[in-house]
Amino acid sequence: MLVCARNTVTHSMVAPVVKSIGFLSFGHYQPVPGSRVRTASDVLLQSIDLAVAAEEIGADGAYFRVHHFARQLASPFPLLAAVGARTKRIEIGTGVIDMRYENPFAMAEDAAAADLISGERLQLGISRGSPEPADRGYESFGYVPAEGESDADLARGHATQFMAAIQGAGVATSDPRTSGVRQPLPIMPQSRTLHERIWWGSGTRGSAAWAAEQGYNLMSSTLLTEDTGVPFHELQAEQIRVYREAWAQAGWKRTPTVSVSRSILPITADEDRRYFGGGQRDDEDQVGYIDAETIARFGKSYTGEPDQLIADLATDTAVAEADHLLLTVPNMLGVEYNTRLLQTVLEDIAPALGWR
């Protein structure tokens, strides 16, 4: 156990790691009572404004979920480019782009352009994606797994093509009638270091090891699609260790980056109590099935006064292991509310935990 006073923590489990701290918006919009984000226009414009505000208060990143066929953010690159044009310092990313839906070469063009607009600050999380409203919605976008191939195979194949394209591989051949030669042509534009800033969203220890072998950074999911009976944070910390071991064995020269996401809701004002302080604290992980065959363990939310959050978060071994922490924000409460939430974490909680 730990002894906790205001802005002081004694933690014997894992040494604190200074972290890049940003927000992750699920990008919801709904015309329902209490929502301050009622339309698609609202969520896009407020996402840009929240990124600007986050940079002003010292946050390190603005990340956005990508979902199709839902009242959420969908096409990421116009938003990422707009955020890049309005900010100067923070990382700008996704968590995650569902690669089953993507044309890898068109995505390579869009990603490089957005990265160059931002001054090479993109941090793209990609993966197979999460459960969605549509039944095989990616097939409506024109992508059907080959015979004997799963949708996860489809996503990984698209990701491999995307990674090759952003590293300058020839993906077409020049026409000698117009160029005088026949030679491989890469996607343009190219952004020189973008391939080092691609993350794989992983929900298992096995997929984390695969991500390391492929040279991706690790974006550990907000849920894990396996359950060993241990608390979520311990299983996630084990996943991170498996990833780092696999990275070392693969022989990559650079140091990879690892992110985890957490719902951290400080209670510091009456408005917070109205939204999050009226019921029992959600102190337990949740275990359930996200489809007929897939069990999942969901991490708990951290809700409470700052001193209590400091004590609780000091025991989270996965957060301690990661170098990036993404705070999942209740985006439908608007820019002002979420800016204050982020500022509380950055100023009242992070320094006490050694994150700043």
* pLDDT (tens digit per residue) in 164-194: 999 999 999 999 999 899 999 999 999 999 9
What residue spans of 20-103 are helical by DSSP H?
Answer: 40-56, 76-86
Residue range 215-269, pLDDT digits in tens: 999 999 877 888 888 899 999 999 999 999 999 999 999 999 999 999 999 999 9
pTM over 0.85: yes
- pLDDT score at 278: 62
**Model confidence at 212, in pLDDT bands (50, 70, 90)?**
very high
Tell me the C-alpha distance between 102 and 81, whole Å. Answer: 18
257, 240 Cβ separation under 8 angstroms: no
8 vs 85 pLDDT, higher one: 85
- pLDDT score at 9: 41
Question: What is the CATH architecture of 4-133+151-166+189-353?
Answer: Alpha-Beta Barrel (3.20)
- pLDDT score at 39: 98
Which pair of structure tokens corresponds to residue 145?
């797994």
Q: What percent of the chain has pLDDT above 70?
A: 90
The CB density around residue 40, as the number of other CB atoms within 10 Å, is 14
- pLDDT score at 284: 73
Residue range 13-37, pLDDT digits in tens: 456 689 999 999 999 999 999 999 9
Q: How far apart are the first and last CA of the chain?
A: 22
Beta carbons within 8 Å of 201's beta carbon, 6+ residues apart: 95, 96, 125, 126, 127, 128, 219, 220, 221
DSSP result, 145-202: PPTT--HHHHHHHHHHHHHHHHTT-EEEE--HHHHSS--EEE-SS--TTGGGGEEEEE
Is residue 140 scored above 80 in pLDDT? Answer: yes
Is residue 279 scored above 90 in pLDDT? Answer: no
Tell me the C-alpha distance between 230 and 151, whole Å. Answer: 29
Which pair of structure tokens corresponds to residue 12?
């014997």
Which pair of structure tokens corresponds to residue 45?
């414009």
Mean pLDDT of the chain: 92
- pLDDT score at 221: 81
Residue spans of beta strands (DSSP E) within the chain? 4-5, 8-9, 20-25, 61-64, 91-98, 122-127, 170-173, 184-186, 198-202, 217-220, 223-224, 258-262, 264-266, 286-289, 295-298, 302-304, 324-329
Is residue 282 scored above 80 in pLDDT? Answer: no
Least confidently predicted of 49-53, 88-92, 102-106, 281-285 = 281-285
Q: Which amino acid is located at 217 in the chain?
A: N
Tell me the C-alpha distance between 267 and 274, whole Å. Answer: 10
Residue range 38-70, pLDDT digits in tens: 999 999 999 999 999 999 999 999 999 999 999
- pLDDT score at 187: 97
Least confidently predicted of 103-112, 223-232, 334-343 = 223-232
338, 23 Cβ separation under 8 angstroms: yes
